[in-house]
Amino acid sequence: MLINDRYNTEPSLIMHVDLNSAFASIEQQSRPMLRGKPIAIINRRTEHTAIVTASYEAKSAGVKVGMKFREAAKLIPGLIGIESDPPKYRYVYRKLMAILSSYSPNVVMKSIDEGIIDFHGVPLQKTLIEIGYEIKKRLREEVGCAMRCNVGIGPSRFLAKTAAGLNKPDGLDVVDATNLRKVYKTMKLTDITGIASHMQHRLNAVSIFTPIQFLDTDMVSLQKVVFKSVNGIYWYQRLRGYEVDDRTTDVKTVGRQYVLENRDLTHSQIQARLHNLCESVGYRMRSQNKVARGVHIYIRTVDRKYWHTCTMSQIPFYSDKTINTIAQQLFLSAPGNVQEIGVRCYELSNNDNPQVSLFNDEVVREQQLVGAIDDINQRFGDRTVHSANTLNTGRFIKTKIPFGSTRYL
Amino acid sequence: MNDELFLNEQVRVVAVFGDGLNPCRPLRFRRLNGREFDITEIGLRHPTMQGKRMLHIFDVTDSCTDYRLEFDAQQLTWRLTREADHVDK
């Protein structure tokens, strides 16, 4: 052990809980006849769609997340495709959150299937390992016997997450100053949370090929040579178990995209779908109490070409009508052969009682109208009131589970 | 691809209401054609809102087929909304 004295030797008081193959496990829980069978969760009932989650039975045959269902079905002919069921997943998410929140007031849900419990300042009657096993037991009792989770314990969020990824499924591990070096020896660079292929190439370029080499690189080299930013310092500390990830990120953009259901849609049909996306983006943005100044749209064509454009406004806006007007204007210059469309609002700021001109009745009326429509939709269900132009598009563009964020759950 | 049939059939259900984590437990249901099914396991029960109306969705099985029963808490009615492929024991 060369530089053990520099590792964070604080007690392990962070716990990371991660549901195993969450959506697939929830489906197998709710439908007992699917247990033990290879299933894949998809967002659309077509074999061209990508797999969102696969059960462990499917994963063992080589099915991976992101793979096309058709390709996966070649690997396992009996593969069952199940369309995702967001209300069910939200219910399990809330159950998981309730279980985690019963142990500490400091719980942060990182995504729909994982959460972090911070035990700092919490009087403990049991060890964290005992609590970890208790959470697993409660999950089986309160949600269902098919539910499994991985629990990771560490002195920082990063090490707890690393521990939660070690022995899947149903593992419980502790990674701290005493064993982090040993754990890194068993891992590849891309096994580290936050290191994907692009970052791997960057590290490889400076002769860092393993997590141990990454760990042993000094802080100055990481800062000045590898990352050329403060991120180098963060990585140096993160790898040693110091907490650098305890911060909340503000929402910067709100967007949605949609892959067209078929390629024969007319221009006006695509415009209607774009309008639907704008309504969805507007609703999400307002739910976060934000206003935007920019709209960005993109198109991916059938021959995989990417086209995008954006525009900024001087005055902040937040109504569906304004977002749609700007997006439709941008869409006029879009290429043909559209396969996928996306719209995103950016330059967001808080909608903190914006001052309205005394003489601008139209703005006041719009604010009241948008507020009333949102109230109705909240009370009577999503898209109870929507633009006539988007009629019948709702059955194609369904609300799906957003990954990586729990803002809209 | 998918193994489910989507339905919207009113069914008659025998259920018990008790306490604990699952206070409502459907035990048996009868379809319009007169066939009866004994529920051997409730996979998952989750509530969902249809506007202001609360629906309790029960994903259940009779050990051969998975079904979805929806209990409308306002109308106090049960509907069979999904039936999966039959699996031989």
Judged by CB atoms closer than 8 Å, whether chains meet at A31 and B46 is answered as no
pLDDT value for A179: 92
pLDDT value for B50: 81
A320 and A370 Cβ atoms separated by less than 8 Å: yes
Nearest residue of A to residue B21, measured between CA atoms: A142
pLDDT band at A1 (very low <50, low <70, confident <90, very high): very low
Asked if the C-beta of A31 comes within 8 angstroms of chain B's C-beta atoms, the answer is yes
ipTM > 0.90 for the complex: yes
The predicted model scores a pTM of 0.84
Point out the least confidently predicted range of A168-182, A248-262, A335-349: A248-262
Judged by CB atoms closer than 8 Å, whether chains meet at B52 and A29 is answered as no
For A5-49, the pLDDT digits (tens) are: 588 889 999 999 999 989 999 999 999 999 999 999 998 888 888
Nearest residue of B to residue A138, measured between CA atoms: B21
Q: Chain A partners of B23 at a C-beta cutoff of 8 Å? A: none
A331 and A272 Cβ atoms separated by less than 8 Å: no
The residues, any chain, with a CB within 8 Å of residue A245's CB and separated by 6 or more, are: A156, A157, A158, A238
What is the identity of the amino acid at A353?
Answer: N
To the nearest whole Å, the CA of B34 is away from the closest chain A CA by: 24
Asked if the C-beta of A88 comes within 8 angstroms of chain B's C-beta atoms, the answer is yes
pLDDT value for A153: 96
What is the residue-averaged pLDDT of chain A? Answer: 89
Among B5, B40, B44, B65, the residue to mutate for chain A (most A Cβ within 10 A): B44
Asked if the C-beta of A40 comes within 8 angstroms of chain B's C-beta atoms, the answer is no
Q: Tell me how many residue pairs between chain A and chain B have CB atoms under 8 A apart.
A: 60
Confidence check: pLDDT of A409 > 70: no
Strand order in the sheet with B53-61: B4-10, B77-84, B66-72, B53-61, B41-50
Q: Smallest Cβ distance to B43: which of A29, A45, A91?
A: A29
pLDDT band at A296 (very low <50, low <70, confident <90, very high): very high
For A186-239, the pLDDT digits (tens) are: 999 999 998 998 999 989 998 999 999 999 988 888 888 888 899 999 999 999
A25 and A55 Cβ atoms separated by less than 8 Å: yes
A32 and B61 Cβ atoms separated by less than 8 Å: yes
